[in-house]
Amino acid sequence: MAACFHQGCYAFKPSPLSPNFIPATHHDFTPSASDEVRRRRRIQRTLSRKLGLGVLSGMPEELRYMVAEHLIRECAIISCQELTSQSYVFSSEIDLSRDVYATYVRFEGIQYVQSLQNGPRPHGDDTAGELLFDTKQGHDLRNIYVAYDHLGVRCVRMETSDNPSPPSVPATRGMWWRSLSKGHRIRSLTVKSDVSLVLHILVCCATLT
């Protein structure tokens, strides 16, 4: 499997790509053309706003928006490079007889699940994480719903005995939900990260060739 870049994007890359860069930007499936249009607009809006806080603070908003249009690719590369330059380590097995916490990361303006854990993050970190499943409540876990898009898991929702129905959320374009339960009790979860999944794909490709 080879990673392909636009010639201009590759020439622009500010430093050697971080090891997490390609796994984090890998598409599990091809998003729709309208998803790509929305992505460009989201980056352009964000960059336009940030330009107004810096060197272009005196420029009218509509002009900043036009300037931002010419810098979308560069902005995407730099922000991704910054985000993936740090190393994140988390466990791959989640015990559902214990509390479950989720931590999140924003990637190009969209929130993704960074980790699921059986305990809050240690003190001193940015956030302890969101408590998804609280065993002290004493409710049985009925089902688990996982929302995802082409870049990863966006959120996880638990269905418990005190609220035995799927979470009521509107449909979001480009995002799908999976149900994990097949009618039996789930005792533990296995999670895969950007890196582990892309490595798995690489191993499969190597086996086939």
Partner 1 sequence: MNPLQGLKLRQVLESTPPGQASTHAGHGWAIPGPDRTLIDLQKGRIAPKVTESLRMSFLECNKPGTDGYAAAIEGFHLMKLVAHRPGGDTSFYEALNGPAIPGPVVWMYLPLNPGETIREISAIRLFSHFVALLVRMAAPRASLVADLCPSLISCFHSFIRTRSERSSSGTTT
Q: Please give the residue ranges that form the binding site for partner 1 (CB under 8 A).
A: 20, 23-24, 28-30, 32-37, 83-84, 87-93, 105, 107, 112-116, 143-148, 151-153, 156-157, 166-167, 169-171, 173, 176-182, 186-197
Minimum Å gap between C-beta 11 and partner 1 is 22
> What amino acid is encoded at 31 in this protein?
P
- State both tokens at 143: 């089902």
Amino acid 208 reads L
| Least Cβ distance, residue 121 to partner 1 (angstroms) | 15
Q: How far apart are CA 111 and CA 125, in angstroms?
A: 18
Query: Which 8-state DSSP code applies to residue 71?
Result: T
CB closer to partner 1, 63 vs 202: 202
Q: Which amino acid is at 161?
A: S
**CB of 43 or CB of 113, closer to partner 1:** 113
Cα gap 125→143, rounded to integer Å: 30
By beta-carbon proximity to partner 1, the closer residue of 136 and 182 is 182
Q: Measured from the CB of residue 155, what is the shortest distance to partner 1 in angstroms?
A: 10
For Cα atoms 84, 114, 158, give the angle at the middle one, nearest 5 degrees.
165
Shortest distance (Å) from residue 124 CB to partner 1: 20
Neighbour tally for 70: CB within 10 Å? 10
| Nearest to partner 1 of 111, 135 (CB atom) | 111
Q: Which two tokens stand for residue 28?
A: 């599990």
Nearer to partner 1, 59 or 130 (CB): 130
Query: Cβ of residue 60: shortest distance to partner 1, in angstroms?
Result: 29
Nearest partner of 156 among 96, 198, 196, 109, judged by Cα: 96
Q: Which is nearer to partner 1, 13 or 67 (CB)?
A: 13
Quote the least distance from Cβ 28 to partner 1, whole Å.
7
Question: Does residue 56 contact residue 67 with C-beta atoms inside 8 Å?
Answer: yes
